[in-house]
Amino acid sequence: MSIIISVLAFLLAISILVAVHEWGHFIVARSFGIKTLRFSIGFGKIIWHKITARGLEIAVSILPLGGYVKFLDEREGKVLPAERPHAFNRQTVGVRFCVVLAGPLFNFLLAFILFWLVFVIGVQEVKPLIGEVVPQSMAAKAGFLPGQNIVAVDTDKTSSWQDIRLAVYQRIGSEKPLTIWVQKAGEQSPHALYVDVSGIRLDEDNVDVLEDFGLFPFVLKIPAVVENVEAKSPAAAVGLQKGDRIESVGQEKINNWQDLLKAITNRGGQTVNLGFVRRGKNESLQITLGRHVDHQGEERGFLGVRAKAIQWPKSLFIQKRYGPMAAIPAAWTEFWQVCTLSTQLLYKMLTAQMGFSGLSGPIGIAHSAGSIARAGIAPYLEFLGLISIGLGIVNLLPIPVLDGGFLLYFLIEAIRKRPLSERSQLIGIKIGFSILVLVLLFASYNDIMRLLQ
């Protein structure tokens, strides 16, 4: 069932994003009087189509990973003399530039609208209450303590962990120390802590920069009671059962689920004595922990049990919800922060400051779409906004086949006062297509490896 939800959520997401992107090209072209022959969602063989009264063919093609708008163009077929003024190739460089640029711009516009909707609907985020500070970490050396609330990063007010992450991500690598304002319950006013962020790494293995820094949000202490046992796991092999309360691993006493995770993390492959309580009776057994490679490529101990989901108190969350007008600046701030961060990450990839193993392809996006769709409408809309921004930015790259490649051709034409030869453009398109195929294959490989791990 989860696979079906993931596929449907992915198809809905990609269809919306592609339709809006191509609609941008279409609506701007129509405003300039350019005739459109086909509006397609997807590539390849057409599986459904309809021709409107104005002669526009609306089509759905078999490969859903994109789309296109086909304009009347003398380079692609014979055009009647009466229709030549409406051909794409007859337009000025400026008009053609606007038509091509409209696709990515509509993706950015969609993202802003989606963020606005999220804030109008309301989104729940975790309050920035510090739960754990890793000993000897950068956070510990800077003076952070459990129980503190982070109220601002430099001059940016923060009301959730998401706010803090966005603020810190944008400042990573800065030579100027970061000023983080913290306040503990009972204190009259916040005080400043100064953090050197120049040494914080930003790469594909750094899933959460705050964890790398040594800060963890406050979490409830979950009892170390087994809710279910995974099939063919080490726990299943020795007969652990639902309801067993784990009390020790080797010589370590277990008070909660967090203690259990810490106890088994570095014991992959080891045989340990596991103490637990079953139906009020103390039991123990020998168990050989499995080995599990996480998404960072690190080996961790694996037991194969899950805890019972518990209800978190509402006091640990903040509900971000605004009226239609107040949501506009909130959406703009979110939009600008995500655009800035996405551009920075892409720049670091292209300049080899970070690797490409963090790339996700269709498989990874589908997996994320399914899990986020199950979380509710607001998270799914926010996810669409993030992907829409990524689609817009990537399409602006100066790679032939992408919109940015054609924009580059138009700029060269404007400078040279004549277009590049068709042969030169065709060579560029072939190179660009090869690059995209390689990137897609690499991203898909990353997705598959993450799922296998």
Between 308 and 72, where is the model more confident?
A: 72
Is pLDDT at 205 greater than 60 in this prediction? no
Q: Using the predicted structure, report yes or no on whether residue 102 has a pLDDT greater than 90.
A: yes
The mean pLDDT of the chain is: 81
Higher pLDDT, 257 or 327: 327
Q: Indicate whether 233 pLDDT > 70.
A: yes
Residues 122, 125, 129, CA angle at the centre, nearest 5°? 145
Residue 305 to residue 288: CA distance in whole angstroms: 14
Q: Within 13 Å and on the Cβ side, how many CA atoms surround 107?
A: 28
pLDDT band at 207 (very low <50, low <70, confident <90, very high): very low
Give the pLDDT confidence score for residue 60 in this predicted structure: 87
| Residue 356 banded pLDDT, cuts 50, 70, 90 | low
Q: Percent of the chain, pLDDT > 90? A: 17
CA atoms within 13 Å, Cβ hemisphere of 306: 8
- Band of pLDDT at residue 447, cut at 50, 70 and 90: low
Q: pLDDT of 260-285, one tens digit each?
A: 877 887 788 888 888 888 988 888 88
Residue 158 pLDDT > 70: yes
Give the CA diameter of the chain: 92
pLDDT class for 246, splitting at 50, 70, 90?
confident
Clarify whether 22 is annotated catalytic. yes
Tell me what pLDDT residue 354 has: 59
Residue 296: pLDDT band (50, 70, 90) is very low
Is a pLDDT exceeding 50 seen at residue 297? no
What are 363-392's pLDDT values in tens digits? 667 667 777 777 778 888 988 998 999 899
Q: Parallel, antiparallel, or unpaired for β 148-153 and 178-184?
A: antiparallel
pLDDT band at 212 (very low <50, low <70, confident <90, very high): low
User: What is the average per-residue pLDDT within 135-143?
Assistant: 77
Helix axes 327-350, 377-395, angle to 10 degrees: 50
CB 385 within 8 A of CB 115: yes
DSSP string, 233-299: SHHHHHT--TT-EEEEETTEE--SHHHHHHHHHT-TT-EEEEEEEETTEEEEEEEE-EEEE-TTS-E
Q: How confident is the model at residue 234 (pLDDT cuts 50, 70, 90)?
A: confident
- Could you report the per-residue pLDDT of 27-79, keeping only the tens digit for each? 999 999 999 988 888 878 888 888 888 888 888 888 777 888 999 988 888 88
pLDDT at 162 over 60: yes
Q: What are the chain's domains?
A: 92-122+322-453 (no CATH), 130-216 (2.30.42.10), 226-309 (2.30.42.10)
Report the 10 Å Cβ neighbour count for 77.
Answer: 8
Confidence of residue 411 (pLDDT cuts 50, 70, 90): very high
Helix or strand run (H / E) with residue 139: helix 138-142
Query: From the candidates 22, 247, 334, 382, which is the catalytic residue?
Result: 22
- pLDDT for 285 equals 86
